[in-house]
Homo-oligomer: A and B are copies of this chain.
Amino acid sequence: MPQKFDIHIIGCGSALPTRKHLPSCQAVDVRDKLLLLDCGEGAQLAWRKTGLNWQRITHIFLTHAHGDHVFGLPGFLSTMGLLGRTAPLYLHGPSSLQTYVEFMKAHFFADISYDLHFEAVDTTQHRCIFEDRSMEVWSLPLKHRLPCCGYLIKEKPGQRHIQREMIDFYEIPTWAINNIKAGQDWTTATGEVIANSRLTSPADPVRSYAYCSDTMPVAGLTEWCQGVDLMYHEATYAEAERALAQKYFHSTAHQAAEVAHAAKVKRLLLGHFSSRYEDEQLLLNEAKEVFPETLLAHEELKITL
């Protein structure tokens, strides 16, 4: 069974509040480490519905300094303090947000029980900005009204799977197993070399998730997000409002689908819906004309990769 790689949608509306949507926030659960993507107002209030543990959040990635992506952050950070967090927390985002985080901390939660680190992201570069044993996070330069970047979360390749019956057959000792999982052949006592491919089956395919909000269509995503399992792409407007999308540096659902098609992603998830649409079926239909494997985001949606 593959290890966890789940996307939890906490909010997928845009700036104006509606009865239906919260502003942008997502949690990504990679092998029980939680990454938060943006933190719109109300994120801490909605968090409990996810059933996820506050203390497993290790990193928060922020896309840009618009209120609907960051006004939930002070409450989220101070609540983690009230809950007794001691593990350090790492924030990543455009440098302008560092001032905001530092101001809020100094004025409202200077005495929190954990260390808060801010790492500025160069939103003009596609770079690996974080990695650990199991994943890499890459910045995705986006085009919005102010510095903005999305994030690509990629698993690192896992180990090959041992074929238990072959291990038993060749009486391979326990100490050798990790080398074989890593790809080594096995040499028996009689000198026979057993090819690794006979002893193991391939590692699980590497999974990846791209979070692209807020942005106009960006050509670079075709290459950076090539073949990802899931792409979340903002789809603020329908085609009829294409001029507005252009004016405000947003995308239509149709444009989001064109990006997904060009990048040959497996599935496209639409979000960041304008408050003008009571029902986003129109957006879904317009996207599916270009890219059939499209889904609408909604609060409390969980997608397992």
Q: Contact residues of A with B, CB < 8 Å? A: 15-19, 22, 41-42, 44-45, 47-49, 65-68, 71-72, 74-75, 78-79, 82-83, 96, 99-100, 103, 107-109
Contact = CB atoms under 8 A, between A and B. Distances in A.
Contact of A67 (B15, B96, B108): B108
B67 A17 contact: no
A65 B17 contact: no
Contacts of A44: 17, 41
B67 A78 contact: yes
A212 to B, nearest CB: 22
Contacts of A15: 78-79, 82
Contact of A107 (B79, B100, B107): B100
A65 B100 contact: no
Given A71-B74, A74-B71, A19 B49 contact: yes
Contacts of A49: 19
A19 B42 CA distance: 12
A22 B46 CA distance: 11
Contacts of A78: 15, 67
A65 B16 contact: no
A82 B41 contact: no
B67 A74 contact: yes
Contact of A48 (B19, B42, B82, B108): B19
28 contacts: A15-B82, A16-B82, A16-B83, A17-B44, A17-B45, A17-B47, A17-B75, A18-B48, A22-B45, A41-B41, A41-B44, A41-B45, A41-B71, A41-B72, A42-B42, A42-B45, A66-B108, A67-B74, A67-B75, A67-B78, A67-B108, A68-B75, A71-B71, A71-B74, A71-B108, A96-B107, A100-B107, A103-B103
